[in-house]
Amino acid sequence: MVDGRKEPRMGDERSVSGDIRVSREDRPAPVIGRSGSKERSAPSRSGERRRPPAAPPPPRKRRKRRSWFFRIFYWLFVLCIWAVLVVGGIIAWYGAHLPPMQSLEVPKRPPNIQILAADGAPMANRGDMGGAAITLKDLPPYVGKAFVAIEDRRFYSHFGLDIPGLARAMMNNLMARHMEQGGSSLTQQLAKNIFLTQERSLERKVQEAILALWLERHYSKDQILEMYINRVYFGAGAYGIEAAAQRYFNKPAKSLSIAQAAMLAGLMKAPSKLAPNKNIAAAQARAQLVVQAMLDLGVISPAEAKAAISKPATVSGSVAESSGNYPADWVMGLLDDYVGPLDGDVIVKTTLNSKLQATAEQALDQALDKSGAKLKVSQGALIAMEPNGAVRALVGGRSYADSQFNRVITAHRQPGSTFKPFVYLAALERGATPDSVRDDAPVTLAGWNPGDFSKEYRGPVKLSTALALSLNTVAVRLCAEVGPKSVVAVAQRLGISSSLQPNPSIAPSGRRSWPPRLSCRHSAPKSPKASSSSG
Give the pLDDT confidence of 131-161 residue by residue, as tens digits. 888 999 999 999 999 999 999 999 999 988 8
Q: Please state, in angstroms and rounded to a whole number, the distance separating the CA atoms of residues 5 and 38.
A: 30
**How high is the pLDDT of residue 325?**
87
191, 91: one domain: no
DSSP, residue by residue, 4-64: TBPPP--S-TT-TT---PPPGGGSPPEEE-TTS-EEEPPPPTTSPPPPPPPPPPPSHHHHH
**How high is the pLDDT of residue 534?**
28
148, 79: one domain: no
Q: Is the pLDDT of residue 294 over 90?
A: yes
Angle between helices 241-249 and 221-231 (to 10 degrees): 40
163, 231: one domain: yes
189, 79: one domain: no
- Beta bridge pairs of residue 393: 384
Q: Indicate the residue among 300, 317, 334 that finishes a domain.
A: 317
- Beta bridge pairs of residue 116: 122, 349
Threshold 0.85, pTM exceeds: no
Give the pLDDT confidence of 118-133 residue by residue, as tens digits. 998 888 888 877 788 8
Give the pairing of strands 437-440 and 30-32.
Answer: unpaired
Mean pLDDT score across all residues of the chain: 79
Of 480 and 386, the structure prediction assigns the larger pLDDT to 386
Contact 226, 259 (CB under 8 A): no
Per mean pLDDT, which range of 46-50, 235-239, 356-360, 528-532 is the poorest? 528-532
Contact 150, 268 (CB under 8 A): yes
- Beta bridge pairs of residue 459: 440
Using alpha carbons, list the distances in angstroms from residue 66 to 58, 60, 72, 74, 343: 15, 10, 10, 12, 70
Q: Indicate the residue among 286, 317, 348 that finishes a domain.
A: 317
H or E segment to which residue 395 belongs: strand 391-395
147, 95: one domain: no
Decide if 240 is inside a domain: yes
Backbone angles phi, psi at 2, to 5 degrees: -120, 125
DSSP, res 401: T
147, 286: one domain: yes
* Nearest to 202, CA basis, from 81, 91, 79: 91
76, 203: one domain: no
Q: Is the pLDDT of residue 5 over 60?
A: no
81, 138: one domain: no
155, 262: one domain: yes
The domain that holds 287 is classified in CATH as: 1.10.3810.10
> What beta strand segments (E) does 396-495 contain?
437-440, 459-462
Domain containing residue 86: 71-101
Catalytic residues: 151, 417
Express as a percent the part of the chain with pLDDT over 70. 71
**473 pLDDT tier (thresholds 50, 70, 90):** confident
Residue range 166-184: mean pLDDT, rounded: 66
**How high is the pLDDT of residue 531?**
31
**How high is the pLDDT of residue 297?**
93
DSSP, residue by residue, 140-197: -HHHHHHHHHHH-TTTTTSSS--HHHHHHHHHHHHHHTS-------HHHHHHHHHHS-
H or E segment to which residue 221 belongs: helix 221-231
Q: Is the pLDDT of residue 265 over 80?
A: yes
140, 256: one domain: yes
Question: Which parts of 347-445 fold into alpha helices (H)?
Answer: 354-375, 420-429
Q: Please state, in angstroms and rounded to a whole number, the distance separating the CA atoms of residues 246 and 123.
A: 11
In three-state secondary structure terms, 496 is: coil
**57 pLDDT tier (thresholds 50, 70, 90):** low
Tally of structural domains, the chain = 3
85, 151: one domain: no
The domain that holds 462 is classified in CATH as: 3.40.710.10
Q: Please state, in angstroms and rounded to a whole number, the distance separating the CA atoms of residues 249 and 312.
A: 12
